Amino acid sequence: MKKIIQKHKNLILALSILFMTGYLSRYHFQLALIQGDSMLPTYHNLELVIINKHVKQPDYGDVIVFSSDTLSTTLIKRVVAKPNDMVSIEENILYVNDEPSSVLPENAQISYAGTASSPLLLHEDEYFVLGDNYSESKDSRCPDIGPVKYEDIIGTVMPSR
pLDDT of residue 70: 83
> pLDDT per residue over 80-124, tens digit each?
999 999 999 999 999 999 999 999 887 888 999 999 999 999 999
| pTM of the predicted protein model | 0.82
Q: Which of 129, 63, 73, 144 is nearest to 96 (CA)?
A: 129
Distance CA 107, CA 30 (A): 34
Average pLDDT, the chain: 87
